[in-house]
Amino acid sequence: MSPLALGSLTVPTPVVLAPMAGITNAAYRRLCAEQGAGLYVCEMITSRGLVERDSTTLKMLVFDELETTRSVQLYGTDPAYVGKATEILCAEYGVHHVDLNFGCPVPKVTRKGGGGALPWKRGLLAEILRSAVAAAAPYDVPVTMKTRKGLDDDHLTYLDAGRIAQEAGCAAIALHGRTVAQSYSGQADWEAIARLVEHVDIPVLGNGDIWEAADALRMVEQTGAAGVVVGRGCLGRPWLFRDLAAAFAPDGLAGRAGSRPTLPTLGEVAAMMRRHAELLAEHMGEERGCKEFRKHVSWYLKGFRAGGELRHSLALVDSLAALDPDEPFPVAELGTPRGRQGSPRERVVIPEGWLADTDGTRLHLTEDTTETTGG
Ligand SMILES: Cc1cc2nc3c(=O)[nH]c(=O)nc-3n(C[C@H](O)[C@H](O)[C@H](O)COP(=O)(O)O)c2cc1C
């Protein structure tokens, strides 16, 4: 497997940590990066929030001292804000990669024409992408976009989005093989990823339902994707990046059926949990860090016998000592989904009349300053 080339940026292992709002902050990115090699994308921030120097937005825009490649995902619906925000990221934050979010399925976002709803307006999509690419060009920073298949099966947008991204000068396009209507339910459609690979000349990054390193290899084999984007599979399992690095290593286990996943004992899991909490506390202060850590507890302990009561009290990090350090990894968990799954939406919430035309260049969509739902 070749390194992933994003414009002038080379990612030796073609693996990307998916931007996940509320998850992929500096602490979590560091934890994952310590396990493997790849590109670790910051949680999504809004263009308007950055341009207007909103304090919540700026707090999310922190990098670990060891983070040598700074990668940030922007959300936006207005070419002017997205361009300006891209410039700020390059000029003031020294980022090396900017990704744009066109996949968020959350009704609050699609209702205003943002996230996964936006690619329906091909003209507006092109304007936003061109604006970001132009702003990043003087800094030689690659811009990528991340999207879904479309609104629903009757309103697919990903092939047009791929062509538009390529024409706008994007360095790659990442495709989550689900529609907005599917949200996180069902199975990601890897065939759509393969079709997009056929359709464009820029690198395509495949995303959806990679639970093990073997899944990543299978996705690349089946789709021809230039790399993979991994989201929920690494929740409570930063070790997955170690397995991915081994699987994609040039002389590594790639293609060999025998690649074995890392199986930490409960003691090792507890040590990782403690480190995660400590890193969060370091970056956010103890109180907020511990609060943030709570959402990770059940992911780390998934499948282990540690009972519900203990999991609950683990919100208080000190209870980690109560875990049996020798309990082996629950192998039945391997290959199974983790994180949100949910059910499909009956109807995608979009602005009135949204489907009437596919251009949207004269639209002025209201930019949200504090949107933090992301995915
Ligand atoms: C908690 C959570 C937050 C997410 N936030 C974002 C986000 O901010 N931006 C984005 O493009 N995708 C976001 N996503 C979607 C993921 O990046 C990814 O596309 C999706 O989870 C499918 O990949 P997976 O099957 O590997 O999880 C989020 C997903 C989750 C579970």
SS3 letters across 249-317: CCCCCCCCCCCCCCCCCHHHHHHHHHHHHHHHHHHHCHHHHHHHHHHHHHHHHCCCCCCHHHHHHCCCH
Nearest to 19 by CA among 62, 68, 74: 74
Token pair recorded at residue 204: 């395509």
> Going by C-beta distance under 8 Å and a sequence separation of 6 or more, which residues neighbour residue 26?
42, 62, 63, 64, 67, 279, 283
Site to substitute for ligand 1 among 176, 211, 230, most atoms within 8 A of C-beta: 176
17 pLDDT higher than 90: yes
The protein residue with its alpha carbon nearest to ligand 1, atom 6, reads: 375
| Ligand 1 center–CA 231 separation, angstroms | 6
| Ligand 1 center–CA 145 separation, angstroms | 13
| Ligand 1 center–CA 32 separation, angstroms | 16
**DSSP H or E stretch at residue 6:** strand 4-6
| Ligand 1 center–CA 20 separation, angstroms | 5
253 pLDDT higher than 90: no
The protein residue with its alpha carbon nearest to ligand 1, atom 10, reads: 375
Largest CA distance in the chain: 62
What residue type is assigned to position 351 of the chain?
P
| Ligand 1 center–CA 147 separation, angstroms | 10
The protein residue with its alpha carbon nearest to ligand 1, atom 14, reads: 375
Write out pLDDT tens, residues 45-100: 999 999 999 999 999 999 999 999 999 999 999 999 999 999 999 999 999 999 99
Nearest ligand 1 atom to the CA of 103 is 11
Nearest ligand 1 atom to the CA of 44 is 8
**DSSP H or E stretch at residue 99:** strand 97-102
Instruction: Return left, alpha or beta for 78; rule: phi > 0 is left, psi -120 to 50 is alpha, else beta.
Output: beta
* pLDDT computed for residue 257 by the predictor: 45
* pLDDT computed for residue 287 by the predictor: 86
Nearest ligand 1 atom to the CA of 233 is 26
* pLDDT computed for residue 130 by the predictor: 98
What phi and psi, each to the nearest 5 degrees, are found at residue 8?
-85, -5
| Ligand 1 center–CA 22 separation, angstroms | 10
Are 63 and 41 within 8 A, CB to CB? no
The protein residue with its alpha carbon nearest to ligand 1, atom 2, reads: 20
Nearest ligand 1 atom to the CA of 210 is 26
Are 121 and 171 within 8 A, CB to CB? no
Catalogue the active-site residues. Answer: 104
Site to substitute for ligand 1 among 20, 74, 184, 218, most atoms within 8 A of C-beta: 20
CA dihedral 159, 163, 164, 170 (to 10 degrees): 110
- Long-range pairs, 54-57, Cβ under 8 A, ≥24: 54/369, 54/370, 56/370, 56/372, 57/369, 57/370
The protein residue with its alpha carbon nearest to ligand 1, atom 12, reads: 375
Q: What is the pTM of this model?
A: 0.95
Q: How remote is the C-alpha of 98 from its chain's centroid?
A: 12
Nearest ligand 1 atom to the CA of 235 is 31
What is the C-alpha separation between 90 and 84, in angstroms, rounded?
A: 10
* pLDDT computed for residue 340 by the predictor: 87
Write out pLDDT tens, residues 133-180: 999 999 999 999 999 999 999 999 999 999 999 999 999 999 999 999
What is the C-alpha separation between 292 and 286, in angstroms, rounded?
A: 10
Nearest ligand 1 atom to the CA of 209 is 25
In terms of average pLDDT, the best of 208-222, 301-315, 323-337, 353-367 is: 208-222
Token pair recorded at residue 330: 């629950």
How far from each other are the two terminal CA atoms of the chain, in whole angstroms?
28
Ligand 1 pocket, residues with Cβ under 6 angstroms? 18-21, 23, 43-44, 73, 101, 103, 146, 176, 207-210, 230-233, 339-340, 374-375
323 pLDDT higher than 50: yes
Name the one residue in this structure whose structure tokens are 């251009």: 359
* pLDDT computed for residue 97 by the predictor: 98
Mean pLDDT of the chain: 92
| Ligand 1 center–CA 187 separation, angstroms | 14
Write out pLDDT tens, residues 115-129: 999 999 999 999 999
User: How many helices (H) does the chain have, and how many strands (E)?
Assistant: 13, 10
Q: With H, G, I as helix, E, B as strand and everything else as coil, classify residue 172.
A: strand
Between residues 311 and 355, which one has the greater pLDDT? Answer: 355
Token pair recorded at residue 143: 């811009």
- What is the arithmetic mean of pLDDT over 295-317? 78
- What is the arithmetic mean of pLDDT over 356-364? 91
